[in-house]
Amino acid sequence: MAQSQPRHAAPKPNRNIKALRTVRFWAAPVVITLALMSALAALYLGGILNPTTNLRHLPIALVNEDAGPAGKQIVDGLATGLDENRFDVRVVSPEEAKRLLDKAEVYGEAVIPPTFSSRLRDFAVSAVEPTRAERPEITISTNPRAGTLAASIAGQTLTQAMTVVNGKVGERLTAEVAARTGGAPLTGASALGLANPIDVTSTVYNPLPNGTGNGLSAFYYALLLLLAGFTGSIVVSTLVDSMLGYVPAEFGPVYRFAEQINISRFRTLLVKWGLMVVLALLTSAVYMAIAHGLGMPIAHGWQLWLYGVFAISAVGVTSSSLIAVLGSMGLLVSMLIFVILGLPSAGATVPLEAVPPFFRWLSEFEPMHQVFLGVRALLYLDGQADAGLAQALTMTAVGLVIGLLLGGIITHMYDRRGFHRIPGAVEMAIAVEHQAHYQARDGAREGSSDET
């Protein structure tokens, strides 16, 4: 009779079904899972539900090109009128404002043009004299490349502030006209025009092209890179251990053990790291091909591919090291670091200036935020190093070094102390015993059939 691979569980387990009746058996999976899901709910909902009430130092630029007194008065009024704890109001030159917008360092700006004071004066005169005048204009620009929600908050804030300023300027202008005319009544149109003399227009600075998901493509692409490293490390670790004969390969109700290979923990981890690098090279290319096929604009293709390889490798190496060092608990720790804590502190969907302080602290070292900065710089900000790409490269490199040192040093220590994986042969012995049991049973059946 042909020899077959063992396919089932051991026929004579040491413990009976009474183990299922213990509190620990039922409580452990329920408590651990409930704690994990509770953390997910608290972190995710806590980070997005109240962005406006959590505002801290949201950067906004004010540009005053007006040579007259009115422009300075409006800038001073805006700077003092906005809560300094919630908004970081920066009065800058037009050139500096452009630099800040291009590097996503401010989410919006208000620009007072050079002719503002003269137009305001002419507009007041036109209320009592038959002269032609144009309303003075202030332009509000939002910066969606820095973040869609943040740009929306900045635009709404500047619009509301300008509504208040418009009313105050109108009151002063009405009083000046009344003093000039000796209190003579004005026509309804003139009075209405003087009450709100400033024409406030809203524009978008350097609008995002089609195919960017209204500014969300950078976040989702960064998330894909994190998931490729995290999920890939799980798949690679499981398959490598299975093919080396240290864990069974299960296919539905069937499992099998490969012939066990005598290999150290450190060398096993080196194999997993090598596979993660190969996987990163291919996955980053596949991501770019799919994104391009779906119409996502990619201005810096080679740079994005290389950074994708780097990010996937760093996450995969670190996650593989955690699994090698902590065993099954490494999966939970990796999920905590790369997914659970990473999403609410990414600063992608909700700006970091609008999340609780805990998430702003996490963003200083959380991998998701660093990868997002790199992807956003390459997709939206012309690949400028000081627009987040340099920080992303530095922090990703730091994460990679941590993963290499953590896995390399500790697995090498395990090997030197004799914590080898060879004891896994016990499972093989159980499977062999079970195979012998089924062979004996099949032999008995054949013998009884021969007698009949």
The number of residues making up the chain comes to 452
- The angle, 0 to 180 degrees and rounded to 10, between the axes of the packed helices 217-243 and 301-326 is 40
Coil, strand or helix: which one is 419? coil
In CATH, which of 3.40.50.2300, 3.40.1710.10, 3.10.129.10, 3.40.50.720 is domain 58-204? Answer: 3.40.1710.10
Quote the pLDDT of residue 182.
63
Find the range with the poorest average confidence among 48-57, 250-259, 305-314. 250-259
**The pLDDT of residue 5 is above 50:** no
3-state helix, strand, coil in the chain (%, to 5): 65, 10, 30
**The pLDDT of residue 238 is above 80:** yes
Residues with Cβ < 8 Å from 431, sequence gap 6 or more? 6, 10, 248, 257
CB 197 within 8 A of CB 125: no
Quote the pLDDT of residue 188.
56
- State pTM to two decimals: 0.84
Average pLDDT over residues 190-198: 73
CA distance 289 to 68: 55
User: Chain-wide mean pLDDT for the chain?
Assistant: 84
Domain chopping of the chain, boundaries: 17-44+213-425, 58-204
Which residue has better confidence, 429 or 379?
379
Coil, strand or helix: which one is 380? coil
**The pLDDT of residue 33 is above 80:** yes
What is the pairing mode between strands 199-204 and 249-251? unpaired
The two tokens of residue 440 are 């004996």
**The pLDDT of residue 231 is above 60:** yes
Output the DSSP codes for 98-133.
HHHHHTT--SEEEEE-TTHHHHHHHHHHHTTSS---
CA distance 58 to 175: 35
Average pLDDT over residues 441-445: 59
The per-residue pLDDT for range 64-99, each reduced to its tens digit, is: 999 888 888 889 888 888 888 999 999 999 999 999
Quote the pLDDT of residue 432.
56
Average pLDDT over residues 272-289: 96
Chain centre distance of CA 179: 58
